[in-house]
């Protein structure tokens, strides 16, 4: 397994990748643009490398090279792309390999299909696992719904990517079990950034995983999108999964930044 991995992303998914690395005993390195020094992915990483004040103005190719240089400086032997689709996965991977580094964003193939079940305007709010259909392809590699796959298979897909990249043999994907539902919590329209996170309370419930960019002491910055958290619940059937998801969302609290908790709670009750 790798000793050091650079996570070439920020925000919610970067935090998830960093924590999987740390659970495996891997040093996780994060990169920050100006203004992101107190974002959660910077606070939880083992090492932080600044990309410079003009990082958000770099071209795609220049940003890729900046990540590669940061990896070399940190001693990382592999780069995990997180969900950095804007960089172009194929070109990014080729540049990483050309630099003598290992690409840890291996494809996630033969996995459980999921479906987006609620969308309002340009916002996706709810996803669920879908029963397999003959000839239907899974939809892996998407930031939120990958947690649905993990919920019904018991896998850590980031760990699976890292082990695959390290050349370790992988077990077969377990057969899906039960039902999983995921909800997105959005920032309120009155949110102004940067803002220090205050009063973030996350409940602990069986069968529930909460991914967020929030933690007391962290900052929400201009680089963040509107999604503050994703809550994923698993149960033996849809009813139990929805009950667990509803209970978890009911238990979430945050003072700053403003969050659309009331709207999400109403949506979950409408979904019964």
Q: How far is CA 139 from CA 10, 146, 220, 225, in A?
A: 22, 9, 29, 22
Residues 6+ apart with CB under 8 A from 93: 81, 103, 105
CA–CA dist 63, 24 (Å, integer): 28
Q: What would the two tokens of residue 203 be?
A: 């409940």
Q: What would the two tokens of residue 130 be?
A: 């879908």
CA–CA dist 35, 194 (Å, integer): 8
Q: What would the two tokens of residue 89 be?
A: 């996965």
pLDDT digits (tens, 9 = 90+) for 78-115: 999 987 655 567 789 999 999 999 999 866 657 677 78
Higher pLDDT, 202 or 137: 202
Domains and CATH numbers, the chain: 4-103 (3.40.50.20), 114-155+173-270 (3.30.470.20)
Query: Would you say 176 and 155 are in contact if contact means Cβ atoms under 8 Å apart?
Result: no
Higher pLDDT, 236 or 139: 236
Neighbours of 258 (CB within 10 A): 16
- 56, pLDDT greater than 90: no
pLDDT, residue 109, reads: 59
CA–CA dist 8, 68 (Å, integer): 9
Q: Mean of the per-residue pLDDT values for the chain?
A: 90
14: left (phi over 0), alpha (psi -120 to 50) or beta: alpha
What 3 state SS string does 116-166 have? EEEEECCEEEEEEECCCCCCCCCCCCCCCCHHHHHHHHCCCHHHHHHHHHC
pLDDT digits (tens, 9 = 90+) for 2-36: 999 999 999 999 999 999 999 999 999 999 999 99
Tell me the mean pLDDT in the region 47-71: 89
pLDDT digits (tens, 9 = 90+) for 142-197: 445 789 999 999 999 999 999 999 999 998 888 999 999 999 999 999 999 999 99
Tell me the percentage of the chain whose pLDDT exceeds 90.
76
Give the CA-trace dihedral at 4, 19, 37, 63, to 10 degrees: 60
CA–CA dist 169, 101 (Å, integer): 20
Strand partners, 208: 233
| Residue of 214, 159, 197, 196 whose CA lies nearest to 44 | 214
| Residue of 205, 206, 237 whose CA lies nearest to 129 | 237
User: What is the biggest distance separating any 2 CA atoms in the chain, rounded to whole angstroms?
Assistant: 52
Neighbours of 189 (CB within 10 A): 8
Dihedral angle sign, alpha carbons of residues 167, 170, 176, 178: negative
pLDDT, residue 141, reads: 45
- 204, pLDDT greater than 50: yes
pLDDT digits (tens, 9 = 90+) for 211-231: 999 999 999 999 999 999 999
């Amino acid at each position: 397994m790798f000793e050091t991995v650079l996570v070439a992303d920020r925000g919610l998914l970067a935090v998830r990748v960093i924590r999987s690395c740390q659970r495996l005993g891997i040093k996780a390195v994060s990169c920050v643009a100006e203004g992101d020094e107190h974002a959660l992915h910077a606070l939880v990483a083992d090492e932080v490398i600044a990309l410079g004040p003009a990082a958000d103005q770099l071209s795609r190719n220049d940003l890729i090279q900046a990540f590669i240089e940061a990896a070399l400086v940190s001693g990382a032997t592999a780069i995990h792309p997180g969900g950095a689709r804007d960089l172009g996965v194929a070109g990014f991977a080729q540049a990483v390999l050309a630099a003598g580094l290992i690409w840890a964003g291996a494809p996630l193939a033969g996995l459980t299909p999921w479906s987006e079940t609620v969308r309002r305007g340009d916002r996706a709010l709810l996803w669920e696992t879908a029963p397999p259909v003959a000839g239907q392809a899974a939809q892996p590699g998407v930031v939120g719904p990958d947690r649905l796959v993990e919920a019904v298979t018991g896998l850590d897909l980031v760990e699976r990517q890292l082990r695959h990249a390290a050349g370790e043999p992988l077990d077969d994907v377990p057969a899906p079990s039960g039902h999983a539902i995921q909800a997105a919590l959005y920032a309120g329209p009155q949110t102004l950034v940067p803002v220090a996170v205050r009063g973030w309370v996350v409940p602990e419930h069986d069968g529930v995983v909460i991914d967020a960019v929030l933690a007391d002491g962290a900052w929400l910055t201009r680089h963040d999108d509107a999604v503050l958290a994703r809550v994923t619940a698993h149960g033996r059937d849809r009813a139990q999964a929805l009950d667990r998801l509803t209970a978890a969302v009911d238990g979430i609290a945050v003072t700053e930044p403003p969050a659309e908790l009331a709207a999400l709670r109403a949506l979950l009750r409408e979904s019964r």
